[in-house]
Chains A and B, each alone.
Chain A
Amino acid sequence: MDDLGEIPELVDADTTSAEDAPEGLSIPNLADANDSEHPPRTVPLTIISGFLGAGKSTLVRRILTERHGYRIAVIMNEFGDTADIEAKTINVSSPDDPSQQSEEFLELANGCLCCSIKDTGIAAIEKLMKRKGAFDHILLETTGLADPGPIASMFWQNEEFSQGLGRDIHLDGVVCVVDAVFGRQQMEEDHAADGIGESLRQIAAADVILLNKVDLVPPAEADATEAVIRGVNPAASIHRTVRGEIDLKHIMGIDAYASRQLLEVSGARVAKSHRGEHEHDHNHNNVHDHEHSTSPTHYEIRGISSLQIDCPKLSSQQLDVLDEWIRSVLWENKLPGSPSGDNSGLEVLRCKGLFVTTVGDLYVLQGVRNLYEIAKVEDEELGLPDAGKLVFIGKGLNEHVRRSLQEQLKII
């Protein structure tokens, strides 16, 4: 039987010149990393995780329908499993008809990539965009039980290879859909891997949490579920939804691994002293309770704990001490200043923080697993908070941890 070979895609004759046929290699100009005036466009990627049956697929469908006119790629399945790359499909929505999706196959990029640290799966997506053009957004839907943390870490790390050609993927955020009906039961009873309930891990890794199907439960139940979520992850924004209906600006384009979301969430908390208004719109179609109840500064359930530590204005010396403390905790799982028997089981899964220095600079801490970054924020349109705050989510986060930091910073 005669091998037909790969059938190429039709091209628009008016814009394609002979040299430009697909697979053409465009030679980029050296992008100036310091050029903040015209930051190159990047492709945002949102990881959508969620409890089984919570409504992830409904959410994805809604996104594709509402964002018609955009090219959105949806990748399903476990990621990071390089053996299966060529079996993975990626569905790309057509800008013209949201119900139409073209199915693309991921190909392994050339190159063994063994001594390079770029993930082969990510390279395959980038290769696809090189051939077919940059997507407007990428949605990565994880399978029910997958822990989004390591996946987020991979994409965040991958940003170090940005070229400024408009095809660089940047991690926009992790969304977790929780089922208001069965969510609390799942959180309290599901299988625990490595000491932490699986659904709790998903909540820990999320930047935005949708408590879905709230119309099917009494408000008290929704409150109780929300309280657990808030306890586990005080840094995420939580929205109550019905059938996955939510203003997409809350879940896409949120830049959760940069500073904007942190500033917004903290701005709302500090709102009482500085501003009267909350930043979010109130979408009256949603069953939307916007009461920002303060979560306890330490919370623990089934192996996972969260800790919120207030932080006064820091001197530059204290900033160094903070960085050293974070390195010890994130990289070595060791608590500075305490005898080594004292912090068994310390492991930080996610950390976020905001703090101000005595010279008026604003810094943001972002961390997932042992990857972290403390960066100065240049954009000050939201104003400086008075005090700083650090949030840690993981294992073994107890009062010893708070004390350790306070002692190191000499603030008690």
Chain B
Amino acid sequence: MSATPVPCQSSNCIKDRPPSRLECPTCNKLGIKGSFFCCQECFKANWKTHKIIHDIATPRQPLLDDPNINKDGTFNPFGTFKFTGPLRPVYPLSPKREVPAHIPRPDYAEDGIPTSENRKLGLPPRILAPEEIEKMRNVCKLAREVLDIAAAAIRPGITTDQIDAIVHEETIKRDAYPSPLNYRHYPKSVCTSINEVICHGIPDQRKLQEGDIINIDVTLYKDGYHGDLNETYPVGRVDEDSQRLMRTAHKCLHEAIKLCKPGALFRDLGKTIEPIARQKGCSVVRTYCGHGINDLFHTAPNVPHYAKNKAVGTMKAGMTFTIEPMINLGHWDLEHWPDDWTSTTIDGKRSAQFEETLLITDTGVEILTGGRSREDLL
């Protein structure tokens, strides 16, 4: 397959322009032939003049024809990114939403840095006192209310930003702070993850379409405690694969919850979750895990959803944490968008997730964020 080597194109090649098969990758991509250099040094030395060829060869698109700009003025800010599936961000994001001053805020609301979490790194999971548990029960109940209201708004045509507005409003109506807002600089009050997005989708101007699946992940902060839950919903009628996916993710979560009681090991949850996913032809995401939650948004323990893990910790009465399996139709691995938050499957196939905040009681487990069962998941 080897073709004839071409003399080094450098005008001041110190090796006297030996023939080479090393080519400028950009020219290769653009289909420009003949850009050969004998070595990286020659290439670097000639870069300033050489790149002019790229600029000339790249067709300039007038704004009207730029595929990244939509006719209604919305746009895709990451035009050169190689997306793994069909979904695209639809910017601009709406302006930052305000939280009324009377509502107590977590430490990161100002500077984005969860200082209190960082201080508690490496410590084992906390056992909550009874009055703390009451506060957890309350904030989790409110978080469930907010999620249900947001879910009721799902319909083709509504944008994820509008869902964000609903979540934000309903949260502050309950005198609570929307935990995601400015957590490590996250820009919005809820995560909305559509189709191939695994988690942390940022609400934007994209309208939901019939056939989409959307995960809404709500967390509230009230009285000093966080409550976290999410569910994946169909938008209108969805295909069978998507139904299978949602049912599987839901089953994974609830079978895992059944294992929870004092003395159970966090590392054993994956042993139940993964076979369920495999049996349905799905995979379990590894990079994101369930987490302890109390006065801190994310804290010990770490709760992997995959089998064969080395998770540290035994469940004890008074511990509160989430289980939130992310299940994919294709491969388990993920890729992040350049917004540094949105994670998508690497093969573009869909992903679904369900999450509850749990409390270990003396005899078993209490689902603090529990809600009505959904007919479509049975």
Residue numbers of A with Cβ under 8 A of B are: 4-5, 7-14, 16, 18, 21-25, 27-30, 33, 109-118, 156-157, 160-161, 163, 327, 330-332, 370-373
Contacts and interface: CB of A to CB of B under 8 A. Distances in A.
Among B25, B183, B330, B341, residue most surrounded by chain A Cβ atoms (within 10 Å): B25
Interface string B84-97: 10000000000000
B312 A371 contact: yes
Contacts of B184: 112, 114
A374 B346 CA distance: 32
Interface stretch (B37-45, B69-77, B208-216, B370-378): B37-45
A14 B21 CA distance: 7
Q: How large is the interface on B (under 10, 10 to 19, 20 to 34, 35 or more residues)?
A: 35 or more
A28 B124 contact: no
B310 A16 contact: no
A12 B24 CA distance: 9
Nearest to A114: B184
Contacts of B340: 110-112
B47 A11 contact: no
B28 A4 contact: no
Nearest to B24: A10
A9 B347 contact: no
Among B29, B47, B288, B306, residue most surrounded by chain A Cβ atoms (within 10 Å): B29
B25 A16 contact: yes
Interface in B7-62: 21-26, 28-29, 31, 36-37, 39-40, 43-44, 47-48, 51
B291 A22 contact: no
Contact of A27 (B24, B26, B343, B347): B347
Interface stretch (B133-141, B238-246, B247-255, B331-339): B331-339
Nearest to A118: B287
Contact of B2 (A14, A24, A116): A14
B174 interface: no
A395 to B, nearest CB: 16
Contacts of A8: 24-26
Nearest to B81: A110
A90 to B, nearest CB: 17
B249 to A, nearest CB: 17
Given A370-B312, A371-B312, A11 B28 contact: yes
B121 to A, nearest CB: 11
A12 B29 CA distance: 13
Contacts of A163: 333
Contact of A161 (B29, B36, B287): B287
Contacts of A21: 25-26, 28-29
A326 B94 CA distance: 52
A116 B289 contact: yes
A12 B20 CA distance: 9
Contacts of A10: 22-25, 37, 39-40, 43
Contacts of A116: 287-289
Contacts of A5: 51
A168 B141 CA distance: 42
Contacts of B37: 10
Contact of B31 (A12, A18, A113, A372): A18
B337 A115 contact: no
B286 interface: yes
Given A11-B25, A21-B28, A160-B306, A331 B336 contact: no
B302 interface: yes
Contacts of A11: 22-25, 28
11 contacts: A7-B44, A9-B40, A10-B37, A12-B23, A27-B331, A110-B340, A115-B298, A116-B287, A160-B304, A161-B286, A161-B287
B312 A331 contact: yes
Nearest to B42: A10
A30 B346 contact: no
A13 B4 CA distance: 11
A18 B31 CA distance: 8
Contacts of A23: 82
B298 A13 contact: no
Nearest to A328: B314
B283 interface: yes
A27 B298 contact: no
Contacts of A331: 124, 312-314
Q: Which 6 residue pairs are nearest across A and B when measured between Cβ atoms?
A: A111-B336, A110-B336, A13-B23, A10-B22, A116-B287, A21-B29
